[in-house]
Amino acid sequence: MKQYDVIIAGGGVIGAACAYFLSRDTNLKIALVDLKKPGNASRASAGGLWAIGESVGLGCGVIFFKTLSKLQSEGDTEAAETLRPHQLPECFFELALKSNELYPALHEEMLARHDVDFKFERTGLKFIMYNRDDEIYADSIVSGIPNLSSQIRWLDQQQLREEEPYITPDAIGAIDFICDHQVNPYRLVDAYTEGARQNGVELFLNTEVLDVLREGNKVIGVRTQDQSLHCETLINAAGAWADDIYHQATGKHMPVYPVKGQIVLSERMPKVLNGCISTSDCYIAQKDNGEILIGSSTEEKGFDTTNSLDKITELSQGAMKCLPILKESSIKRCWAGLRPGTPDELPILGPVDGVEGYINACGHFRTGILMSAITGTLITELMTGKPTSVDLAPFRVERFE
């Protein structure tokens, strides 16, 4: 019978990050168990580290924004001015920004120690404005985050043309979030996983956690299709499927559910974008290999991972409007992933009252790539009894009770 200190259920970016940070900073005996289910989020992701952008509802949240902005243009100006952007609470900003700060050093560390490169790129995230409505919206974003003004640049039409010559000349300007960057999300998962493997983590890939083993209120291990694996602590990093594991571990349910996002990817193109782009229709990011990624829809359709012509069309038209040179290219690929959504859009982190040997690391919704570094750090702090770098109270599952 195999015995571990820690078993991590789920090997997406969150599980892999936990495995990496734990194996880097402790001597614990660790196993990572993962079966890639269709729609797993990390490989579906855009790879944006859009700490400010996501916190104010751009990037992946842009579909929310679009509905808001429509409301705005329909209503009178008075009402429009009182409408706020989709801004998340302070604790989310803190988590996002702290995580974001970790990537430059992490990138160098992983390259040097493990010879893996997750393609960290300093890009910024530009919100492109086409008209007065967009300007009003940008204004209200900026006035909502006065403490972050040093991270924001206003670009007028001329400056935008100089910095992003391929963006449509119809754009009237942009705001740029200086500290928002991007990575290659597959490579990030791969880097964490390979780093963890080199640090001695045992990988059980293609392996499903079928049951959680319990003794009273203590979790003691998991059963897979091949064997039982025992542990002192089980970390639940099962993404959109996390409630299954939670239910087995605690007998209760928590509100983590799949939120589908469709993405459109172009063929490789010469470098046409210097930074990541968000408009009111979509976001656009040119990845390290030249492909242009256009995202993303936000749909609650259970575990469905199909693509649909309406969303593909919507995203493509939004992107062609912003970046006309796309008309010379083709869609090479589309896919859909399942974000692990929560009702308040905050992740679910930390232990659970009344249950021993169990920790949540899930519910990262549309920012799991960005939040992976801080999540790995926090879980490691928890496991070693150190004070956590961020107060976990707002993220505990008990908030839903």
Partner 1 sequence: MPSCQKEKIVIVGAGPAGVSCAAELAKYGITSTLVDEAPKIGGVIYRGPLRQASKLPHLDENLKRAMAALKVRYEHHKQDITLQLQTKVLGPEGESGLLLQTENQLTQIDYTKLVLATGCHERSVPFEGWQLPGVMLMGGMQLQLKSGLVRPGKKVALVGTGPLLPLVACQLHKSGAQVVGVYEASRFSELAKETVALLNKPKLTLSGLSMLAYLKKHNIPFKYGYGIVKAEGQEKLSSVTVAPYDEHWHADLSKAQHLAVDSLGVGYGFVARTQLAMLLGVSHQYTTTNGYVPLLDDNLRSSLNSIFVCGDTNGLLGAEAAIIEGKMAATMLAYEQACLSESTFHTRMRKLKTKRKQTQKFRAGFDRFSALREGLLALTQADTVVCRCEQVKRQQLDLALQQGAKDLSSVKMRTRIGMGDCQGKMCSSYALDRLHAAGHLGTLGVIRPRFPLDPIPFTLLEKNHEAV
Ligand X SMILES: Cc1cc2nc3c(=O)[nH]c(=O)nc-3n(C[C@H](O)[C@H](O)[C@H](O)COP(=O)(O)OP(=O)(O)OC[C@H]3O[C@@H](n4cnc5c(N)ncnc54)[C@H](O)[C@@H]3O)c2cc1C
* Structure tokens given for 380: 């490691």
Contact set for ligand X, span 113-152 (CB under 6 A) = none
**Is the Cβ of residue 122 or residue 332 nearer to partner 1 in the bound state?**
332
**Of 123-131, 164-172, 189-197, 213-221: span binding partner 1 (CB under 8 A):** 189-197
Binding partner 1 (rule: CB under 8 A), the pick from 121, 194, 243, 345 is 194
275 lies in the site for ligand X, by CB under 6 A: no
Residue owning tokens 């010469």: 270
CB 338, min distance to ligand X, A: 6
- Tokens standing for 376? 């790995």
User: Least distance (Å) from ligand X to the CB of residue 79?
Assistant: 31
Are the beta carbons of 243 and 258 closer than 8 angstroms? no
Q: What are phi and psi of 97, to 5 degrees?
A: -70, -40
Q: Where are the beta strands (DSSP E) in 269-323?
A: 276-278, 283-286, 291-295
Does the footprint of ligand X cover residue 237 (CB under 6 A)? yes
- Nearest distance, CB of residue 315 and ligand X, angstroms: 10
The CB-of-399 to partner 1 minimum distance in angstroms stands at: 34
In the chain, the amino acid numbered 348 is I
Bridge-partner residues for 2, per DSSP? 229
E strands in 178-289: 181-182, 202-205, 211-215, 218-223, 228-236, 257-268, 276-278, 283-286
23, 40, 123, 184: which one binds ligand X (CB under 6 A): 40
Task: Calculate the alpha carbon distances from 1 to 96, 229, 243 in Å.
Answer: 40, 7, 27
Choose which of 64, 130, 154, 186 interacts with partner 1 (CB under 8 A): 186
Structural element, H or E, at residue 32:
strand 30-34
Q: Which is nearer to partner 1, 39 or 363 (CB)?
A: 39
What are the C-alpha distances in Å from 265 to residues 99, 326, 334? 27, 11, 6
Interface with partner 1, residue 332, by CB under 8 A: yes
Among 134, 190, 243, 345, interactor with partner 1 by CB under 8 A: 190
The CB-of-327 to partner 1 minimum distance in angstroms stands at: 5
Distance CA 155, CA 371 (A): 28
First to last CA, the chain: 37
> What's the CA gap between 365 and 41, in Å, rounded?
9
Binding to ligand X (CB under 6 A) within 303-322 occurs at none
Q: Out of ligand X, partner 1, none, which partner does residue 364 contact, by CB within 5 to 8 A per kind?
A: ligand X
Among 11, 57, 318, 341, binds ligand X (CB under 6 A): 11
Residue 267 interacting with partner 1 (CB under 8 A)? yes
Choosing among ligand X, partner 1, none, which partner's interface includes residue 10 (Cβ < 5 to 8 Å by kind)?
ligand X
Of 322, 332, 337, 333, nearest to 283 by C-alpha is 322
Q: What Å distances lie between residue 168 and 231, 273, 296, CA to CA?
A: 56, 12, 20
**Which 8-state DSSP code applies to residue 145?**
-
- Minimum distance from CB of 318 to partner 1 (Å)? 8
Query: Is there binding between residue 333 and ligand X (CB under 6 A)?
Result: no
Strand ranges (E), 242-303: 257-268, 276-278, 283-286, 291-295
Could you say which of 80, 145, 269, 312 contacts partner 1 (CB under 8 A)? 312
Q: Which does 203 bind (CB under 5 to 8 A by kind): ligand X, partner 1, none?
A: partner 1
Which listed residue (54, 134, 176, 314) binds partner 1 by CB under 8 A? Answer: 314
Q: Which is nearer to partner 1, 124 or 185 (CB)?
A: 185
Q: Which residue of 71, 79, 105, 205 would you call a contact of partner 1, by CB under 8 A?
A: 205
Q: How many CB atoms lie within 10 A of CB 190?
A: 18
Q: Classify 35 as helix, strand or coil.
A: coil
Least Å distance, CB 161 to ligand X, is 26
Which of ligand X, partner 1, none interacts with 190 (beta carbon under 5 to 8 A by kind)? partner 1
The contact set with ligand X (CB under 6 A) reads 9-15, 33-37, 40-42, 44-48, 60, 208-209, 237-241, 261, 263, 295-296, 337, 339-340, 362, 364-370
In the complex, which residues of this chain contact partner 1 (CB under 8 A)?
36, 38, 43, 186, 189-190, 194, 197, 203, 205-206, 266-267, 304, 306-310, 312-314, 316-317, 319-320, 326-327, 329-335
